[in-house]
Structure 1
Amino acid sequence: MLNSIFKKLLGGLVSLLLISVLIFLLSKAVPGDPVNLALGVSSESEINMNYQEEYERKKRELKLHLPYFYFSFLPYNFPANLQMQGSLIDIRNKRRSLMEESNLAFPKFHWNGTENQYHNWLFSSSVSLQDGKPVRYKIGRAIVWTLFLVVVSVFFSYSLGILMGLFLSGLSNQKLRSWLEAILIALYAIPVFWMATLLLVFFTTSEYGTWTNIFPSVGLAPIDLGEPWYVRIGKFGAQLILPCFVLVLHNLAFLSMLTKRNLDKNKRLGFVTTSKVFGFGEKEIIFKEVLPLSLIPLITSVSSAIPSAVGGSLVVEIIFNIPGMGRLLYTSIMTYDWPVVFPIVLLIAIITYISFFLADILYRIADPRIR
């Protein structure tokens, strides 16, 4: 088992490395010049006499003058220190002339070391192009609220979903079971944004009656990182009750129906009849034999539900005005703040890998056949 876990861990790290390279390449293909965005230049009319000097200064400050990766392939007679000679226009002219004169059939391998853009992008603390704040600071301030939403909603969704599935599977009244299933399916069919809007309109104000003002008003200002996360959650956690309730209510139907279907299928297997013959009680068979086998599809769903919830919390965070990662990702895309966008995408990829890695371990715990 440890050998298998080590192989999956090593393969996952290689996959994350390739994903980080892909995200870095995508960051170089997005529209807009990061240097101009950092300088606040949006049109030619804003270019002044010192534009070229300011451009070169800001480019070196952002370390965009460095080569892309740890190594590069150059023409055979390409000078190693060409990037340090002259202005940007002179460098481009020299490169063009050298490439025309040299034979490109035998390029020269050049090791750039850690002085490259990919290394600085991966390990250094980049800054936002909009407000100049460190990206780690902005993500660290936003991830607290998103993780709280995800952890609470996933915990209660699966806990209540499993209990509801057990209740529906053991319910003998077929008519009541059909009504409950119809209600759950109707709740699952309601879009999240519409459900959130309805609950926000009717249950956060006294406009429709004093009894409807159940939940506190929505909206959270960005909180400073000076206080511990549990202090901030304790102060402003009441505003997160309704968003968590929306996410739990939406996922409850799917999880309860999935649990019920797996329980009903596994109850008809041969080992259930054999256990009854040996004198085991029905509850003991359900909780010790049938339920662990029925949880395997739920492990698969939870491994994808966590990264989906992290990336899909955008709608809930915008509607309830929560300064989480979803809203930060949206506003950064709208303002072309790419140094903030791509670290969030990489973070979601890391969370996805961790979720599926933990799912592989839980498979071996839940099912002795896999172990």
Structure 2
Amino acid sequence: MPGYLFKRLVLVLPMLWLIASLFFLLSRLLPQGLGAGNILKGDEQYSKGSKESRERSYRQYLHKTQQDLPLFYFSIHARAEPDTLYRVYPESERLHLRRLAWKYGNWPLVSAYYSGVKQAHTLAAQQDQLQPHFEALHTSTVAPAILAAASSIAEADQENAFQTAILLRNAKRMVEHRQDYLGLLPTLSWNGSKNQYHNWLTEVLQGNFGTSYRDHRAVPAILAEAIGNTFWLLILSMAISVVLAFELSILMVRQKGRKWRRLFLPVLFLTDSIPTFVLALLLLVLLASPAFLQLFPVYGMGYYSPAGLPWHESLARQVQFMALPVLCLTLANLPYLTNQVYRSLATTGNEDYTRTARAKGLSETRIIRKHMLRNAWLPIITLLSDFLPALVAGALIIETIFAIPGVGRLLLTAVQARDYPVMMGIVVIVALFKMLSHLVADALYSLADPRIRYTSS
């Protein structure tokens, strides 16, 4: 058994590496982040800067986050596009250039055409009547629309006749010398070790999990603050749910439990049919609103707990904020858990050893708790090993509604801001948590049934 558990524990490391690597690569394929979008649009603190200063800040942001490097050691792309297209920013321009390359195939002509568009647009920036035509050139890939817009600009902009003539000539050359099938042929480019994945993996192996793009703090410090709240929320709700599920199931499986089954099963079915977010809102309205019973605070956990308080006062403050979220998670998961435990106990009630125990004259309580419950543990352990990781998904909704500064709420804000290092840390923690839960389940199988033996081979 110890050798088997050690082998399983060793296998966790490559699995974590695989999950983290896949998430890293997939996350970097997402569109540009919230911070990058704000810089380019001139939102918030960038609103007073010029276009050139915003673009400079944007490129500094990309360099700082290493997004100006290729993603992996190699890249597969269409033969019509160059292997340095990732250097083109902003992303809207890169996507437009990629569509032009796929459609017309001849990259040198596509590049010359787009350079002409940008130069002509810069010279005619003050001429408002030409902006719709330039907008068409920046978005369209259809040949008639491109030629029509380029011709209109060449006819209307006499001040920059030389540059607009070059633009029109490049547009015609790109359309006339198109190579239709190069966009369908793949090619492989080697990027070397100067790529985002190599730098990220090197830093992780050195113990550096990165800093947040949003507040520039170390990822472990951010996760440490959030994990504590989520840990207690999950542990308390799971403990209460498991205890209630077992007691209700034992009560309903008794020979005189028919009246309890008629009472509990419909109530549990009704509770299970209520979505988690609706249940959370109902609890807020009924137990945290002045219109009904304002017994608990609506939100504020982590914000109204002054530092330096004795541990018992700090705990008392935390309990009042934790009560409704724990109650909500418990009610959301209790019906399914109770149903599974009850069915497992009811199945063991028809086994031969149960009838033998009744024939010996043992009390019903002893039969249920010592014989039926022990033999029903195997499916229950399987259920609990998946139940605890499933609570993490419910915690995302609960922490958002009740404004709990936990892992779920942190994940939501990190996804909205495209904060890749924080997202990566949360994914690794959740994956590790799930793997360890299955490892604990294997150990509990052996304790619940001594006939189960694991080998390390």
What is the CA deviation profile of residues 161-219 of structure 1, one whole-angstrom value per residue up to 9, with x for unaligned ones?
A: 101100111151524421221111111111111111111012113323xxx22223333
* Residue 203 (str. 1) matches residue 297 (str. 2): no
- The residue type paired with residue 153 of structure 1 is S
Inter-partner Cα distance in structure 1 for 2:15 and 2:410: 26
- Aligned pairs for 1:241-260 (under 5 A) are 241-260=323-342
Number of aligned residues: 339
- Aligned pairs for 1:20-99 (under 5 A) are 20-32=20-32, 36=36, 41-43=39-41, 61-62=64-65
Tell me what 2:11 maps to. 11
1:319 and 1:111, CA in 2 relative to 1: closer, same or farther beyond 3 A? closer
- The residue type paired with residue 294 of structure 1 is A
Tell me what 1:164 maps to. 248
* Residue 145 (str. 1) matches residue 229 (str. 2): yes
Tell me what 1:366 maps to. 448
Correspondent of 2:275 among 191, 207, 223: 191
TM-score (normalised: structure 1) = 0.77
1:181 and 1:266, CA in 2 relative to 1: closer, same or farther beyond 3 A? same
- Aligned pairs for 1:310-325 (under 5 A) are 310-325=392-407
Deviation at 1:49, TM superposition (A): 5.1
Deviation at 1:311, TM superposition (A): 2.9
Inter-partner Cα distance in structure 1 for 2:35 and 2:321: 39
Inter-partner Cα distance in structure 2 for 1:259 and 1:326: 28
1:333 and 1:66, CA in 2 relative to 1: closer, same or farther beyond 3 A? closer
What is the CA deviation profile of residues 77-104 of structure 1, one whole-angstrom value per residue up to 9, with x for unaligned ones?
A: xxxxxxxxxxx79xxxxxxxxxxxxxx9
Inter-partner Cα distance in structure 2 for 1:29 and 1:227: 45
Contact 2:20 2:427 (C-alpha < 8 Å) held by counterparts: no
Q: Bigger shift: 20-29 or 270-279?
A: 270-279
> RMSD of the TM alignment (CA)?
3.7
Partner secondary structure for residue 307 of structure 1: helix
What is the CA deviation profile of residues 313-344 of structure 1, one whole-angstrom value per residue up to 9, with x for unaligned ones?
A: 11111211111111111122122222222221
Partner secondary structure for residue 42 of structure 1: helix
Tell me what 1:130 maps to. 214
Inter-partner Cα distance in structure 1 for 2:194 and 2:39: 34
Partner secondary structure for residue 205 of structure 1: coil
Tell me what 1:285 maps to. 367
Correspondent of 1:116 among 187, 190, 199: 199
Deviation at 1:28, TM superposition (A): 2.2
1:110 and 1:341, CA in 2 relative to 1: closer, same or farther beyond 3 A? closer
- The residue type paired with residue 25 of structure 2 is L
Inter-partner Cα distance in structure 2 for 1:296 and 1:259: 11
Correspondent of 2:298 among 202, 217, 235: 217
1:49 and 1:141, CA in 2 relative to 1: closer, same or farther beyond 3 A? same
Contact 1:192 1:250 (C-alpha < 8 Å) held by counterparts: yes
Partner secondary structure for residue 347 of structure 1: helix
Contact 2:20 2:424 (C-alpha < 8 Å) held by counterparts: no
Inter-partner Cα distance in structure 2 for 1:346 and 1:225: 31
1:36 and 1:247, CA in 2 relative to 1: closer, same or farther beyond 3 A? closer
1:190 and 1:339, CA in 2 relative to 1: closer, same or farther beyond 3 A? same
Inter-partner Cα distance in structure 2 for 1:142 and 1:28: 24
1:293 and 1:18, CA in 2 relative to 1: closer, same or farther beyond 3 A? same
- Aligned pairs for 1:96-111 (under 5 A) are none
- The residue type paired with residue 399 of structure 2 is E
Contact 1:141 1:224 (C-alpha < 8 Å) held by counterparts: no
TM-score (normalised: structure 2) = 0.64
1:52 and 1:120, CA in 2 relative to 1: closer, same or farther beyond 3 A? farther
What is the CA deviation profile of residues 238-258 of structure 1, one whole-angstrom value per residue up to 9, with x for unaligned ones?
A: 111011011112222222222
Deviation at 1:120, TM superposition (A): 1.8
Contact 1:141 1:222 (C-alpha < 8 Å) held by counterparts: no
Q: Bigger shift: 45-54 or 274-283?
A: 45-54
- The residue type paired with residue 138 of structure 1 is I
Inter-partner Cα distance in structure 1 for 2:408 and 2:359: 54
* Residue 342 (str. 1) matches residue 424 (str. 2): yes
Deviation at 1:136, TM superposition (A): 2.2
Contact 1:67 1:117 (C-alpha < 8 Å) held by counterparts: no
Deviation at 1:285, TM superposition (A): 2.8
Tell me what 1:83 maps to. none
Inter-partner Cα distance in structure 1 for 2:191 and 2:445: 49
Inter-partner Cα distance in structure 2 for 1:176 and 1:234: 35
Inter-partner Cα distance in structure 1 for 2:248 and 2:372: 16
Correspondent of 1:271 among 353, 356, 369: 353
Correspondent of 1:262 among 330, 339, 344: 344
Flag structure 1 segments of 5+ consecutive residues without an equivalent.
75-87, 90-103
1:57 and 1:217, CA in 2 relative to 1: closer, same or farther beyond 3 A? closer
Flag structure 2 segments of 5+ consecutive residues without an equivalent.
76-86, 89-186
Inter-partner Cα distance in structure 2 for 1:333 and 1:147: 21
1:133 and 1:234, CA in 2 relative to 1: closer, same or farther beyond 3 A? farther
1:294 and 1:66, CA in 2 relative to 1: closer, same or farther beyond 3 A? same
Inter-partner Cα distance in structure 1 for 2:199 and 2:35: 17
**What is the percentage of aligned positions where both structures have the same residue?**
30
1:121 and 1:33, CA in 2 relative to 1: closer, same or farther beyond 3 A? farther
Correspondent of 1:353 among 435, 441, 451: 435
What is the CA deviation profile of residues 9-48 of structure 1, one whole-angstrom value per residue up to 9, with x for unaligned ones?
A: 22222212211211221232121169947xx622499676
Correspondent of 2:388 among 303, 306, 327: 306
Q: Bigger shift: 270-279 or 143-152?
A: 270-279
- The residue type paired with residue 368 of structure 2 is I
